Amino acid sequence: MSDNSENNGYWQANIRLVKICLVIWALVSFGFGILLRPMLGGIPVGGTDLGFWFAQQGSIIVFLALIFFYAWRMNKLDAEHGVDEQ
């Protein structure tokens, strides 16, 4: 019974982490790049406006950062639950 509850805790933490990463990615790519683009249009970044930057480069950079964050956090989560690679 204890083993099953530990597995459930591990997978709940994993799914929670995936959901958080997906919400951040959706907010940055769809929210900032499309929905909030007119509001971000007056903020200059690198010769263009912030909304265009998020649509073209910002969402990709955030996606790459989320990949590294997810890998780092999953390594810590694996170690906490004793399923890490030695």
Does any domain span residue 86?
no
Looking at the 3D structure of the chain, how many domains does it have?
1
> Averaged over 21-47, what is the pLDDT?
86
Does any domain span residue 27?
yes
Q: In terms of residue numbers, what domain contains 34? A: 2-81
Whole-number pLDDT of residue 1: 40
> Averaged over 8-24, what is the pLDDT?
94
- Dig out the tokens for 72 from the structure: 């780092």
Q: Is the pLDDT of residue 3 over 90?
A: no
pTM of the model: 0.79
Give residue 77's Cα distance to chain centre: 16
Does any domain span residue 39?
yes
Does any domain span residue 16?
yes
Whole-number pLDDT of residue 40: 81
Does any domain span residue 22?
yes
Q: Is 68 exposed, middle or buried (0-12, 13-18, 19+ CB in 10 A)?
A: exposed
Does any domain span residue 32?
yes
How confident is the prediction for the chain on average, in pLDDT? 87
